Chain A
Amino acid sequence: MSDYRAPIDEMRFVLQEIAGLADIATLPGYEEATPDLVDAILEEAGKLAAEELAPLNQPGDIAGSQLENGVVRTPDGFAAAYRHYVDGGWNALPFDKDHGGQGLPWSLAVAVQEMWNAANMSFALCPLLNQGAVELLQAHGSPEQKERYLAKMISGQWSGTMNLTEPQAGSDVGAARTRAEPDGDRWRIRGQKIYITYGEHDMSENVIHMVLARTPDAPVGTKGLSLFLVPKLLPDAEGNPAERNDLRCVSLEHKLGIKASPTCVMSFGDSEGAIGFLIGEENRGMEYMFTMMNNARLSVGIQGVAIAERAYQQALSYARDRLQGREMGSRDPDSVPIIRHPDVRRMLMTMRAQTEAARALAYFTTASLDRAKADPDPEVRRHQSVDVLELLTPVVKAWCTDIGCEVASIGIQIHGGMGFIEETGAAQHYRDARITPIYEGTNGIQALDLIARKIMRHEGKPALRLLEEVRATQAKVGQAKGAAFSALRRGLDEAADAFEQATGWLMETFPERPQEAAAGATPYLRLTGTLAGGWLLARGALAAAEQIDDPDSDTAFLEAKIATARFYADSILPEAVAAAAAAIRGSASTLALEEDAL
């Protein structure tokens, strides 16, 4: 497996030019996020990722996590690396200051999170799930619960999990059957949860489970789910982990990828019932879950970006080293590195352009989280929340993770036979990437969320706002000179028209033929992502063209930004047109063949 180096120049560029971190640093609470601090944080996090986490990635894949007598042992080195991560204060980066967080913007956190995931996705899942649990508690926990749990979870000393899934309740969480019965001022939890990431492990001192369960007489479906905090070790009066709760990991799943991350079958309440504490009010568990799910979905989108970056770095280094064949049109009998072959270049450019577009969209969307939270103007907060954050979150989750898989797959292709051989490491990226379109709401569910909740419920307005923004950028692209900008002009015009048509189709079809609209949801999401990615790369290219005349600028880097945007415009944006056709025309034909005839 090749080394990983955090792409710090690129991250800094996207944060400043596309996410607008400098603006965010003017918002109340985020003043500390000045460019020099951002640089220092990226540098130091990059070191930890490259030197400590990345070397554990392949050994972790080979060893996997192991269950012995109810105890899960993570691969060698994981516990020590986690200790360094916690001691370094990294876990606290984005959380509010009241319980020991550093209160830095999410947009900065997202870049750092990309590094952990690119270095070692299995490792990074532990903090990722903990982050969701912390947010739940911050938003909905009682003052006493916050006092008891938050500081330790924010530091990472204790880790949190999310317990939604049960054998009969996957995408349909409302089918969950885990029960909760009152027992004085606490509850007894009984039931089985499956696929619980880091449900049991040896990296943190205690595991705090966030469990969805049903109280007696709760209504059916999601409206009857309540949320409980169920610690593995119940804290004593001083808040130290003490008595063992009645819950255990009964088995670990054998998986295609992320093998170092324990995926646990959890059994709650085999004997006296696991002690749980109700969070917020009864029957509002699902609503609470959603406050954190948006954020977790962005984080999973980031995993897509991270794996794509790692796969690209690995493929690029292989393409420079591997000698094979002669250069097209040359008489030189010597073998050349495969990077000279145009088809390999096409693959590398596809990987690079998709990765940059996905990163741009993920960071841009995360920045709206900061704005929706901290902007003093309520109208700006509403706009950032509804038209940007909510609209684009399912797109980041689904489109960026699809890209993660595609790019990792191309990475294997560049390695030829060696890509299929595990030792090389390219295959691991592909296997690891493959979970990301599945968990945290499958990509199919994301597409439905996009069309129904994010677009139709707001009468299509957020989609039209996005279109306006794209066209505003187009006006600037139209004035810029050079081959890259004429490619972008054309590519974006076509894609924006396609998006407009497809949105019109959606508005018309959804109320009358919802089945058909649903059949077109995934291509519609793909179209949205492809267009939004191209739009943001165009904004990046405009910023690069502006900076390039500055004698102190990194000309090679800026030229590469422009060239990559051009490739995206020429070779990838046309897919938006095809995706629009698949949504508009393909939706009826998708359902034309009867179920029995399949």
Chain B
Amino acid sequence: MKVLVAIKRVIDAYVKVRVKSDGSGVETQNVKMSMNPFCEIAVEEAVRMKEAGIASEVVVVSCGQQNSQETIRTALAMGADRGILVQSDAELQPLAIAKLLKGVVEKEQPELVLMGKQAVDNDFNQTGQMLSALLDWSQATFASKIEKSDGKLTVTREIDGGLETIEVALPAVVTADLRLNEPRYASLPNIMKAKKKPIDTMSAEDLGVDPSPRLSVVKVSEPPARQGGAKVGSVAELVEKLKNEAKVI
């Protein structure tokens, strides 16, 4: 089974994100970037499938600027076989990415597309679902366990209040949740090998997709600063405050 993994380059999870002074977005210049953590989990799962003899080839694809190549290299160092960069300098929204991925899927003909359930930059949680709709493939989101048996996948999903196990026919789009696995650290020999693995570059035009944004951002602002706490003298005072000041009871 050939597996395509879609990965996104985002601001590193440890960076303190700053809003641009004009409110048009967040500061990304000279900010440390990394692979979206959920995408890392998706790559790990695909590499494990390859190691277990379930996947025949693992191809990673990223849509974004030229420097997304570095993120692709990270996935190659984890064990993916080759990479595809769909290069675009424009802002890419979930629908555009889903359309671009659809184009790649048509070229590559994988049986399974693995991706993160969402990216930590915008927390959209849309691209996987959109892609499955565009392809008219089955989907399984928020996966915490994936098993393959004769042409089908059994996927355990994390849902509110518990786990749900479903069966999906292949081909399918599956999005990874946090507990699916713990991604490995790339080994030094694999980092060195990754350098020699091929990365194809293509553009939105090559795939016949118009990636222009359909949503416009009105304003980006910092979340309100946390107010300091206060000590109350008694339970009665606490109840009074919750009722009349916080108005939550």
A contacts, CB < 8 Å to B: 5, 8, 32, 34, 36-37, 39-41, 43-44, 47-48, 51-52, 84, 87-90, 92-93, 102, 554-557
Contact = CB atoms under 8 A, between A and B. Distances in A.
Given A554-B30, A556-B30, A40 B74 contact: yes
Given A43-B74, A44-B186, A90-B188, 8 more contacts: A36-B73, A36-B195, A40-B186, A40-B194, A84-B185, A88-B185, A89-B189, A556-B30
A36 B74 CA distance: 11
Among B73, B74, B186, B189, chain A packs the most CB atoms within 10 A around the CB of B186
Nearest to B73: A40
28 contacts: A5-B14, A32-B195, A34-B195, A36-B70, A36-B195, A37-B191, A37-B195, A39-B70, A40-B77, A40-B191, A40-B194, A40-B195, A41-B188, A41-B191, A44-B74, A44-B77, A48-B185, A52-B185, A87-B187, A88-B187, A88-B188, A89-B188, A89-B189, A90-B188, A93-B188, A102-B188, A555-B30, A557-B30
A555 B27 CA distance: 14
Contacts of A40: 70, 73-74, 77, 186, 191, 194-195
Contacts of B73: 36, 40
B192 interface: yes
Nearest to B30: A554
A590 B80 CA distance: 65
A32 B189 CA distance: 12
Given A5-B14, A554-B30, A556-B30, A37 B188 contact: no
Interface in B51-83: 70, 73-74, 77
A51 B186 CA distance: 13
B5 to A, nearest CB: 18
A366 B21 CA distance: 43
B185 A44 contact: yes
A47 B74 CA distance: 12
Contacts of A48: 185
A555 B194 CA distance: 31
Contacts of A39: 70
Nearest to A102: B188
6 closest pairs, A vs B, by CB?
Answer: A89-B188, A554-B30, A88-B187, A89-B189, A89-B187, A44-B186
A87 B191 CA distance: 13
Nearest to B34: A43
A102 B77 CA distance: 16
Most buried by A among B70, B77, B188, B192: B188
Contacts of B77: 40, 44
Contact of B192 (A5, A52, A102): A102
Interface string B1-41: 00000000000001000000000000000101000000000
A37 B190 CA distance: 11
Contacts, number: 54
Contacts of B190: 89
A37 B185 contact: no
Nearest to B29: A554
Contacts of A102: 188-189, 192
Contacts of B70: 36, 39-40
Nearest to B186: A44
B37 to A, nearest CB: 12
Nearest to B185: A48
Contact of B188 (A43, A47, A92): A92
Nearest to A557: B30
Given A36-B73, A52-B185, A44 B191 contact: yes
B43 to A, nearest CB: 14
A527 B16 CA distance: 40
Contacts of A8: 32
Contacts of B14: 5
A580 B188 CA distance: 45
Contacts of B192: 32, 37, 102
Contacts of A51: 185
Contacts of B186: 40, 44, 88
Nearest to B195: A37
B185 A47 contact: yes
Nearest to B194: A40
A547 to B, nearest CB: 12
Contacts of A84: 185
A573 to B, nearest CB: 30
Contacts of B30: 554-557
A43 to B, nearest CB: 8
A88 B188 CA distance: 6
A52 B184 CA distance: 11
B217 to A, nearest CB: 24
A570 B188 CA distance: 42
Contacts of A92: 188
A37 to B, nearest CB: 6
A32 B188 CA distance: 13
Residue among A8, A36, A52 having the largest count of chain B Cβ atoms under 10 Å: A36
A37 B189 CA distance: 11
Nearest to A90: B188
Contacts of B32: 8
Interface in B100-155: none
Contacts of A34: 195
Nearest to B14: A5
Nearest to A84: B185
A43 B187 CA distance: 12
Contacts of B189: 89, 102
A201 to B, nearest CB: 23
Interface in B180-216: 185-192, 194-195
Contacts of A555: 30
A555 B30 CA distance: 9
A125 to B, nearest CB: 20
A554 B31 CA distance: 9
Nearest to A47: B185
A93 B14 CA distance: 27
Nearest to B76: A40
Contacts of A43: 74
Contacts of B185: 44, 47-48, 51-52, 84, 88
A47 B183 CA distance: 12
A555 B74 CA distance: 26
A524 to B, nearest CB: 40
Contacts of A554: 30
A37 B76 CA distance: 13
A47 B73 CA distance: 15
Contacts of B188: 41, 44, 88-90, 92-93, 102
Contacts of A36: 70, 73, 195
A120 to B, nearest CB: 15
Contacts of B191: 37, 40-41, 44
A222 B189 CA distance: 41
A384 to B, nearest CB: 26
